[in-house]
Structure formats: structure tokens, C-alpha cells
Amino acid sequence: MAIHWPILRRFATRPLRRVATDDSRDYRGIDMLVASLHMADRIGAECATENVGLLLPTSGAFPIAALGAWSAGKTIVPLNYLLKPDELQYVIDDSGIDTIYTVGPMLEFLERTPRVKNLRRLEEINFKAVPAPVVPAGAKPSDLAAIVYTSGTSGKPKGVMLSHGALAANVRQGKEHLGLSAKTDCMLGVLPQFHCYGMTQLTLTPLTHGVRVVYTARFMPKRLIELVRDQRATIMVGIPSMYNAIAALKSGTPDHLASLRLIVSGSEALPDAVQQKFKDRYGKHICEGYGMTEMAPATHCAISEACRPHSVGRPVPGVEQRIVDPKTERELPVGADGEVRLRGPNMMTGYYHLPDKTEEVFDERGFYRTGDQGKIDENGYLFITGRIKEMIIVGGENVFPREIEDVLNRHPKVHASGVIGVSDPMRGEVPVAFVELCEEVGEADFDERELVSFCREHLAGYKVPRHIHLIDALPRNPTGKILRRELTGFLPGDSKADRDNAPEPAPAPASEG
């Protein structure tokens, strides 16, 4: 079924019900329905290409424009307004769009005008007028609904093709797994809707199932917890860096988040330190989720506090998981570490105009190769160890950045950290760490040896960072995920001198066999 039809039907049958709130207004079902029909009329008249670009802030405007595009039989391309100018232009050109719909404040934020044939501002449309009669287009499950560009962790951004069926499947999976209720639930989030996480879980899922949703365009921790309290939100969706900032709010109290029954974190691993700080301040547990754009995106969520520590939970309904040795393609038994492979009805069609890349990421059984290292326990709970490409091999032993970062993030002076491997003539590689200090900690209080000693107390000797460098701000992608690959640019030039003066980590244990 077309992804937009259940939403439009719900708007039509419950026209006066409040369905969404953003920074500027409330929206009833009839408001969104009429506005989406206006958009369908304009898009049908102005956009000659199959794909249409949406350059919009997190707000009610995004679902209105998306519903209008689908009603006009188009495929949406959500545009990442946090990209560099050249990156954004690449996405515009690669997707072949001739029309972008945006708003004036967004163009002011960009401080530039994207190059495209038609650039249309929503302010130009009279949404209060009676819309032209439009019969919303239908779609088969296999028809393309969205092309969502990845953040380009390796090379240029790739356009992930998501069908109507894939998005509908993930919307259905989200409702079943999270137990959403149209009568009692209210979702809140600040995630950008150009990101698949924000588009599917914060937009399509609540609107499809009649769950009221609250949007705010800018992440301001104090305002966010006040919104939770004032709107009586029951579900909050975010990412670890957001929860870290909320946990650091000295004005935050348990009363601010008392209405929440479910707090979900995704996009990257949730550090233990963030989980603990958040629980200490608000008395609430953060449920860790897992997924990727290629899976539309949600595949797992540890929705119960009773879930195993560090687990992302069991798969959502319909998703199959297995662990494979990427070198031999042999499926591994319970508890063994290997590459996480996933398959389900929410899986992407492929990468836009990249058939070779598409073929590379699916194995012979049709499972998606995630590139993540992990293991599955006897009860089906998935544990993510790290990225295979980011694994550090120290004297023959495998070390993942996350386990070192989890320790560093527990230190009271450390706000966040990132770890990479650096070549070493004796051991092949050694870990090197970069840390951001907490806001109240001055640069003069940074003590590398103190942090190294702290790591020695909690890590095997060969996992202790050879160096720990202070950095003003860790490099992050638009959704706040730390970009470890960019940390190499912050390494001191004279790495040999650094090695000579470094505190010597303990040797790695001899490998068995």
C-alpha cells in the first residue's frame, strides 16, 4: 500500500483532532490534509522530474510537503541542510531533481541559494484557499517513495532507495515493537526529518497510527525538557549527544520528564556514562535502538530496562538477523563475534544509480552486510561491538574504539571521546584517544596521565590509549555522530616523538592457537 494513504485517510476521518505541534502552531487533521492537497497541486504543475527535493526544518511542514509529493506521484529527496555547500549540491545534482520546496528562514540559515531549476518557498502558497480537486496518486509496495542520502562515511553520499512497502513495513514494525497507542501516547523529538530516523520514526510512524507528535526545529536542552513537561509527551526520540546535554542540565529535575514512558536513543552507540548520568538526574532509563538508513531505518530496540546491558534488544517483527565471519562467509554460532547481517521487508531497494555498490552490500542469501561487528546471545539479543573497519589490531588482539570510549566517558572531566588506531612499528597499531572536556572543566585541568591511569584501572593493558589528546570539539556528522575517521587530521605531526615520550601500555596477551 502507498505510505501516504493511511495518513490521509486518518486525517479525513478525524479532521478536528490535533495531530502535530511545532514551534509555530498546532495542526489538526484537516489542516494537514488541505495543505497536502495544495502541495500536490503545486508539485504536479511545477515539478517535471520523478524526484522532488524537500529542504525543510523539523516541523509540520515536512509531512505536508511529503504527503503532497506522494499524492502527486513523486519520490521525495529530503535534503540535508547541514551539509557543506558542495556536498548539498552533489546530492541535488545526483538525484536529478528540478524542483526544491523550502521556506525563507531555511535559505537565511543556509546563507546561499542551491542551484536548481525551480526553488519554491512554501510562503508563496495560499494554504487557506480551497485546494484544487486532487485524487491522491496510488502506489504499489515496490514503487519508490524516498531517496535518503547517507552522510557519506566513505566517499560521496549514496542515495538509499526506500520503497513505499519498506517504509510502510518499518512504520508497522515500530508500532508493534513500541506498543504505540493513539489514545495515550504523544511523541516528541528534534531529529532532522532529512534523516531516515526522523522521517520514519518521528513523522510517518506517529501520523500513520494517530499518535500526536511534537516537533521543535532546534535542539535546546532546557526548552526540550520543558516541552516534554508542558506537552505531556510519553515518548522521546533522540541521539546520545542530545541525551548527554540533557543530562548535564543543572536545572533539570525528574518532574520535567515524569510523563515519559519510553526514551529511545539511536544513530550511534549509547555510552554507559550518558545512560548513568541521565538516570541519576531524571530517574529514567534510555532504551538503546539500532538501525540504518538501508533498513528504513529501525531494526532493534531494547525497550525494557530489564534488557541485557549494552544490548540493542531483539529485532523488530519481521527482521531476521545472523552473525557471519566476513572472511569465510560462514554463519557463526550463538555468542560468537562477527559481522551483523540483516534482512526484512523494510530493506532498501538499493543505492540510486549505483548497481555495483548495491550488489556489494547484499550477501548470497539476500542479507544486508551492515559492516558492524556484533554477537547474538541465546535469547536473540543483539550486542554491537563496533565498526569492522574501525577495529584496531594491537599485537594481534582486536580492540574496538567503543570499549575505550565507554571508559573515558565515565571520567568526571570527560564530556565525550573518540578513539582511532595509529600505526606502530612494534605492535602494528595502537589506540589513540581524543577527548572533549565537560563545560565546567577548564583546559588547565586536562591531565593526560590522569586519564591514562583511569583507563589502566578499567581496561586490559593493550587497550589503554598510547596518547590522549585534548580537542575543543570532536568532529561530528549532521546528526551528532562522532566521525572517528576525521580524527586522524588532529594527530600531532611528529608521531615518532609522541611514541618515544608516551607512557608504555602493557603488552597484548599472546593469541591462542
- CATH of residue 434's domain is 3.30.300.30
In a domain, 465, yes or no: yes
Helix 272-282 and helix 240-247: axis angle, to 10°?
A: 40
CA gap 177, 197 in Å, rounded: 15
* Cβ-contact 193, 327 below 8 angstroms: no
Number of domains in the chain: 1
In a domain, 451, yes or no: yes
In a domain, 433, yes or no: yes
In a domain, 513, yes or no: no
Q: ∠ at Cα 411 (488, 479), nearest 5°?
A: 50
In a domain, 271, yes or no: no
CA gap 160, 124 in Å, rounded: 31
In a domain, 169, yes or no: no
Extract the C-alpha cell encoding 116: 536548481
In a domain, 398, yes or no: yes
Cα 499 to Cα 108, 451, 504: the distances in Å are 47, 17, 9
CA gap 84, 82 in Å, rounded: 7
In a domain, 57, yes or no: no
Specify the pTM.
Answer: 0.86
From first to last of its 513 residues, the chain has per-residue pLDDT tens of: 799 999 999 999 999 999 999 999 999 999 999 999 999 999 999 999 999 999 999 999 999 999 999 999 999 999 999 888 888 999 999 999 999 999 999 999 998 899 999 999 999 999 988 888 889 999 999 999 999 998 655 568 899 999 999 999 999 999 999 999 999 999 998 899 999 999 999 999 999 999 999 999 999 999 999 999 999 999 999 988 899 999 999 999 999 999 999 999 988 888 888 999 999 999 999 999 999 999 999 999 998 766 778 899 999 999 999 999 999 999 999 999 999 999 999 999 999 999 999 999 999 999 999 999 999 999 999 999 888 888 898 988 888 898 899 999 999 999 999 999 999 888 889 999 999 999 899 999 999 999 999 999 999 899 999 999 999 999 987 777 888 989 999 998 744 334 344 444 444 333 333
For residue 494, the enclosing domain spans 391-501
* Tens digits of residue pLDDT in 56-71: 999 999 999 999 999 9
